[in-house]
Structure formats: structure tokens, C-alpha cells
Structure 1
Amino acid sequence: MLKSFDIYNQNNSLKIIVALNLLLVGTASLLYTNRLINKLEEREAHYVILYAKTIAYLVDPSHFDSGDLTFVTSEILEANRTVPAIYVDPNGQISKPLNIDFPENLTDEGKQQFLRDKTQEMKKRHPPIVVEIGNGERGLVYYDNSTLLRQLTYFPWVLLAILGALGVLAYLAFSSSRRAEQNRVWVGLAKETAHQLGTPMSSLMAWVEFMRSDPAQYDESITDEIAKDVSRLETITARFSSIGSIPTLKEENITTVVEQFTDYLSKRISTKVKMSLASQIPADQTVKINKLLFEWVIENICKNAVDAMKGVGELRLTMQALSNQEIAIDITDTGKGIPKASMQKVFTPGFSTKKRGWGLGLTLAKRIVEEYHSGKLFVKSSELGKGTTFRIILNADTGQQKKAVQAQPSEKEA
């Protein structure tokens, strides 16, 4: 028996596994680096203690046992080449700064002030080390983290940021791969649907020709309507075949295209829906579109509107020229409206408020308008219980628009 294979659930599991691995790597890196930092802090503190003892010896060698103490100056002082340190004597005078980088062009007084400010900064990070120099007097050694230690302090956060960025890139790549897979499925399904429609369409065309051969028995008007529906099926087949391919755009009279299609559509929706078209653009205004696909956009929006009105209401199409040489087509219904929470979801694949359907109509419409025609499709306005207006914006033929004279507003009821 065949088992169902849900690639999308598997993809979600893979994403969780990837995220957990990234989290583990980041956590382990942070803990390990903190351990190194603690060890380095201990070592550098030890260096400063040696530095403090050295200063104590140099100030008053009598406190030390006799013997060869040349290592104090030749080794211990030279050992610290990275930790910034400043000695302040019992009188508060600063001397013997170690590994301090001074700004350029400072005077001697400026250097002393710079060192005093530096000791205050160091005091905030580490308590100073006391230097016993005899007679109850004490000096202080202030110190700071070395460059290496500062770099290691920031290293875990930099590493986590890098891992986070890699995780985001992995997620985007994975999501892109999934969308590509979805697109391949839909394209394959659409082309297979178009292929399967071919056989019954051929049969229907043969029946139409048979009915036309005997006009005495078959009403010619009925035959013509059937022929229109067969032609419509051919159009739908062409649409499905074109999915996944780059469509060819042609200059079309936009008013004529919309008028002809609304005439056709008005006879095939509920008779209780009043459908009207108002045009406020030049009668000869052209727009570069793919007629078959653009009609599909109008059809999807209008059929959604009819469903929202439950087959009763008013459906208005309004065409107008915008100030930025664009054409706007508004499709307004008197349906139930769209809740604000769903306003951004209406174009999401699979989103539907109907019991039937796959929730792809508006998704395809938006893709056709925005990706193929470089236009825009969005919900212009919606009010619960009163209706919704979808707006399509297309780039007008600017050359034609300059020559055309603005036509008087005309309205046609279908």
C-alpha cells in the first residue's frame, strides 16, 4: 500500500532541526569562549600583580631578600606587552605607564591629564591593585583588558550574529526551494488540466457543427451560445497552458477589452447581480497587456465579488486615468466585506472564505498583474456589511495618452 508523502511537513521538520543545530553551535561557542576569557582574565591579573611587585622593588629594594633580582627588570616587565597599566604613587602622581597609546601632539601636561582620565576608566572595569612600598605607604596600579581580551569578549556575539545570518539565509533558501517546488506542482497541474480539456473540447466543437448542420431542429441562438462557451473553454485552456511561461504583451484598447469581457460575463452570473461599467478614460486608450491573462484577472475578481454578495447585489467596474500616466480599474461589490484581520491574507495561496475552491484565484490575479504586467493589484477599501473595492493599476501607453483627447465619462450597464 502506498504511503502519503507530505513534503511540506518534512520541510518544517528539517527547518526545526536546522534551527536547533544552529542554537546548539551558538551556545557551545559562547560557553567555550567565556571559559577562555575567564582564563585570560586570570592570567592578565597575574601579570599585573607581577608588575606591581616589580614597582615595589624598584621603589624600595630593601624590602626584598638579597640575591639576583635582575629578572625583575629583564623578564617580568618585558613579559607584559599587551595589558595597559598605570602606576599611581602614594602622592597621587602618575608614573611608569605601560602599554598606553597616547593621542598624537599631546603636551606633557596633556599626557598627564590623559593618564588621569584613563585611570578613572580603568577603575570602572577593574579594582586597582595595591602596591605596598613600606612605611605604611601604598601605591595603586590601574589596569585594563588587553586588545586580545576585548576582541574575545565581543567574539561570541559576533559569532552568534554570523550564525544567525547563516540561519536566516538557510531559511530563505529553504523557503525559496519550497516555493519553487510548489510552483512546479501548480504549473504541472495547470498544463495537465489544459491537456485533459483538449479531448472533450474537440467533441463539443463537433457537436456544435452537427447542430448547425440542422438549423430546423436546433435553435440557432442556443447553438451560438454553446459555441461561445466552447470558445470560452478554449480560452481557459490557453490560460492554463500559458502558466509557467512568459506571456506576450500586446497593445490593446483597454476599454474594448473590459467591455467585451463584462458583456460575456454578465450573461453567465446571477441575474440578481446588477453589473455596470463606467469609463473615464479616452476611448482609444491602449495598454500593453496579455488579453487572455488580463481577462482572467477580471473574471477572478468579479466571481469572488459575486460569491461575496451570495448572488444578489451590485457589481460596478470603474476605469479612470491617474495623474501619473496610469490606468486604474476599480471593481466594487456590495457584499459582506473583508475583515481587517484578513485584509493582508486575501492574496495568500490557499486562503479562502468559501467551502469550495483552492484559494488560488486572487493569488494568480495578483501575480498576473504585478509580475507579468508590472502593475498593482490591492484591496482599495472594504467595509463589513457594505462591500469591497479591488483596484488594478496598469501603466498606460504614454504616447497614445498625449495624443488622445479626454473622453467624456460614459457609463454602460451590462
Structure 2
Amino acid sequence: MSTPNPYQRKKRWKYLLLIFAVIIASSSLLYTQYLVKNIAKSERTRAQVWAITMKQILSTDDNDQLNYFFEVRDSLTVPALVTDEKGDFKFQRGLDTNKTFIPTQGITELAGKKKYDLAYFQGELSIMKDQHRPIKIKVPESFGGYWLVYYKDSLLLTELRIFPYIQLTIIAVFLVVAYTAFSSARKSEQNQVWVGLAKETAHQLGTPISSLLAWIELLKDKFDAEDDPLIAEMANDVQRLEIVADRFSKIGSKPVLEPHSVYAVVKDFMDYFKVRVSDKISFELNGNPQFMASLNVPLFAWVVENLLKNAVNAIEGKGSIKVNINSSKTKNLIYIDVIDTGKGIARSKFKTVFRPGYTTRKRGWGLGLSLTKRMVENYHNGQIFVKDSELGKGTTFRIILKKVKDDQPTAA
């Protein structure tokens, strides 16, 4: 059983935290709904009691009983409206007194000579009908036979319904802000560590590289081997070490971009690289040498190196690697496709392969494609993504760069 890489472990922790957050949110919502249900049931009971008092007020002549019923009626805190069977308003309780009375026309009379805003009451009645079924009470025939009591949720119940959503929204915003702040601080700290490590590595490599160059010159002089191909290849490898050291020294600094032929940069590294891998893997480069882009050659050569090495590692046994360089006819862009016949990438992993720590190799660090993406997008203002892949058949990585205008000077 393989050990999960750091990215997979981090992903699992994220899922666990997400599940825990969902459980907390669900528990809060369920408990609030439980309280809302009980309060709604209590308000329904109070509305029914109030409806009964209305019936008794209309049916009794006993002053003592009337006083009691009036006290019960006036104690109701739930907003309510009473209509007859025709829908004419008869009584209201707990509504906004600032909106009930109007001084002009367009009025209806509910009790005595009070004038009410009919439109306001109709709006409130519509809300009450949507929230609760009416309570039907029988009244004397002189009052119409029966009345309907409508009521709506109290302000407390309304606020309680929306409170958990407001609470969860505030918590979510706080968590997002906190996560963003901590993540940004952590990334900044990690970047500083990596930059310091990279520059120190470049500094440490400087002395042995200089010594190796000197030893190569001594070998040429001692054995009169100025044209010896083995020493020439040795010199090429030391020059590669110089380039690697130069790359590390540039990490954390803003690279200088100059117009270069994309074809020439890719060809230069491919010629060096292909003689150092298995002869079972063939290489092919297609494109127009005139396609120019703003490049930092050491860093972009690193991009090409990472993609070619990734392609070689994906090929088990015999295979081929092809690099096609094309230009968009409608847009000012250059497309660089690196195509291999390796084992392929699952579609679900198209974005994951660029995450730090993700690797399918036992000894891999999972940094190659992550650094490649950073160098293309952050340093060269381009794009890189998995254009296409099929398990067992191969993968195509695509880089998109802006083409240098024809009137712009180019580097030699």
C-alpha cells in the first residue's frame, strides 16, 4: 500500500474539516428548526385562544366575562386579522399602527368611525394566508354566521428563522478571511524559505563549478585533447550546472524578459537532453523559428527541461516525444505542445498534477510541474495546462505565450 503524498494528506484534512463544518452547520440549523417548530405551535395555540375570545365577546352580554375576554384578546402578541365569510375586514391586532390609518380617500371602515388603509390590510392578509391556515369561528347570525381569523409569525419567530443563516454567513465570512490571511502568511513564509534555500544552493554550487571548469582546461592542455568529444560533453555538463546555478540564483527576483525565438530555445535544450536519455525514446521538434516571445532563457529552458523529463518518466520502454510550436492566426499567441506516448493522466488529475507535492514516482518530490506552472504564469505571463491525455496512450501539455510584435527588436 503506497503512502499518500503531502498533497493527498492535505486534501484529506480539508475534506475532514469540511465534513466537520457541515455537521456543525446542520446541527445548528436542525436545532433552530426545532425551536421554530415549537414556537410556531405555541403561537398557533395563542391564536386559537384569541379566536375563541372573539367568539365569546360577540356571544355574551355579561360585563364581567366581557372584561375578562377583552383582557385575553388584548394580551395577544401575534399579529392577526379577522374577516367575515365575504372577506370584509372586521378586526385587527398587533399590526403596524403607523400604516393602518390614512387621512385621505381609498379607505374602508373596520370598527366605529376609524378609517384604515385597505391596501395595507390586503397585503398583510396575503402574507398571513401564505404562512398559516385560518382559524374558523362561529359567530351569531347577525354578524354573518362565521368569521375567519388569520395570523402571521411574530417578530421573534421571524428573526429566529433567519438567525442561523445570518450566523452561519458571518462564521463563513470570518473563516474565509482567516483562512486567506493565514494561508497568505504561510505561503509568504514558505516562499522566503525556498528563495533563501535556492540562493544559498546557487552560492554553494559556484565554487565547485569554477573548479570543474578549471580542471577541464587542464585536461585539455595536459593531454592535448582540445577536440576530444568526451571532454566536450563533460564541458557541456558543467555548463549545464552553471545554468542550473543561475536558475536558482534568479528565484525570488523579477526576471528580465527579452525577445527570443521559441524554436531556438527549445531546440537548444532538446539537442543537449536527447543524447542523455535512452535511445528507445525518439525526439521531434516542429515549428517556425521566426515565432518570437519575451523569454528569460535560463528559466524558460528550465520549463522545457521539466516537461521533457516528465515526458521521459511517463514513457515505459519505447516511445516518442514531440514538440510542436504553432501560432494563432486570429490572436497574437504562440502555442507550444509537448506530446508524449507515455502512460497518460486521468482527467480528474489534469489540475492536480500542478499542485506542489503531487507525484506518481516513489522518489519524486512533486515540485517539477508546480515550478513549471509558476515560471510560465508568474514570470512569463503565459498559461500552461494539460491539453489532452488518455491513459495508456500519452499526454499533451500546452504552453501559451504572447507573440512578440514584428516591429519589436529581437535577441540574437
Report the counterpart of residue 313 of structure 2 in structure 1.
307
Give the secondary-structure state (helix, strand or coil) at the position aligned to 1:214.
helix
Q: TM-score, normalised by structure 2?
A: 0.75
Give 1:378 shift. 1.6
Matching residue of 1:331: 338
* 8 Å Cα contact 2:39/2:157 also seen in 1: no
Q: 2:89 aligns with which of 86, 89, 94?
A: 94
Classify 1:108/1:65 alpha carbon distance in 2 versus 1 (closer, same or farther; 3 Å): closer
- Taking a change above 3 Å as real, the CA distance of residues 400 and 306 of structure 1, as seen in their structure-2 partners, is farther
1:346 partner SS: helix
**Paired position in structure 1 for 2:284:** 276
Q: CA 1:24/1:92 → structure 2, altered by over 3 Å: closer, same or farther?
A: closer
CA distances 1:214-259 after superposition (whole Å, capped 9, x unpaired): 2426764433332222111011011112223322212223232223
Question: Number of residue pairs matched?
Answer: 390
Query: CA 1:17–1:385 in structure 2 vs 1: closer, same or farther (change >3 Å)?
Result: closer
User: 1:86/1:220 Cα in 2 relative to 1: closer, same or farther (>3 Å)?
Assistant: same
Quickly say closer, same or farther: Cα 1:313–1:161, change in 2 above 3 A: same
1:128 offset after TM fit, Å?
1.6
> 2:404 aligned with 1:397, yes or no?
yes
Residue 306 of structure 1 and its aligned partner are, at CA, apart by: 1.9
Amino acid at match of 1:166: F
- Using the TM superposition, give the Cα deviation of residue 380 of structure 1 relative to its aligned residue in structure 2, in angstroms: 2.0
Instruction: Summarize the Cα distance change of 1:92–1:332 in structure 2 as closer, same or farther, 3 Å threshold.
Output: closer
Which shows bigger deviation, 182-191 or 30-39? Answer: 30-39
Q: Match of 1:335, SS? A: coil
Report the equivalent of 2:132: 125
Considering only aligned residues, what root-mean-square deviation do their CA atoms show, in Å? 4.4
Alignment deviations for residues 342-363 of structure 1 (CA, whole Å, 9 cap, x no partner): 3333222222232332121111
Instruction: Determine if the alignment matches structure 1 residue 388 to structure 2 residue 387.
Output: no
Whether 1:291 aligns to 2:297 is yes
**1:205 Cα offset (Å):** 1.8
Runs of 5+ unmatched residues, structure 2: 1-5, 110-116
Match of residue 228 from structure 1 = 236
**Structure-1-length-normalised TM-score:** 0.75
Structure 1 CA distance for aligned equivalents of residues 298 and 185 of structure 2: 29
CA contact (8 A) 1:252 1:289 kept: yes
Q: Using a 3 Å threshold, how does the CA distance of structure 1 residues 377 and 66 change in structure 2: closer, same or farther?
A: closer
Match of 2:209 among 185, 195, 201: 201
Corresponding residue of 1:216: 224
Question: What is the rounded CA distance, in whole Å, between the counterparts of 1:398 and 1:217 in structure 2?
Answer: 45
TM-fit CA distance, 1:10: 11
The residue aligned with 1:156 is 164
Distance 2:332 2:65 in 1: 97
Measured in 2, the distance between the counterparts of 1:260 and 1:10 equals: 39
**What SS is found at the alignment partner of 1:370?**
helix
Whether the 8 Å contact between 2:263 and 2:288 is mirrored in structure 1 is: no
- CA–CA distance in structure 2, aligned partners of residues 22 and 333 of structure 1: 43
1:367 aligns with 2:370: no
Residue pair 2:82, 2:91 contacting (<8 A) in 1 also: yes
SS of 1:350's equivalent in the other structure is: coil
CA distance in 1, matches of 2:167, 2:210: 65
What is the CA–CA distance in structure 1 between the aligned matches of 2:298 and 2:69, rounded to whole Å?
A: 92
Q: Deviations over 1:298-357 (max 9, x none)?
A: 111111212222463322222111121101112222333333343333222222232332
Counting aligned pairs with the same residue, the percent is 37
Distance in structure 2 (CA, Å) of the matches to 1:12 and 1:386: 30
Q: 1:243 aligns with which of 233, 248, 251?
A: 251
Q: Secondary structure at the match of 1:244?
A: coil
The amino acid across from 1:96 in the alignment is F
SS, match of residue 369 in structure 1: helix
Q: Which residue of structure 2 aligns with residue 53 of structure 1?
A: 53
Matched AA of 1:349: P
Distance 1:308 1:164 in 2: 42
Moved more, 188-197 or 127-136: 127-136
CA contact (8 A) 1:56 1:131 kept: no
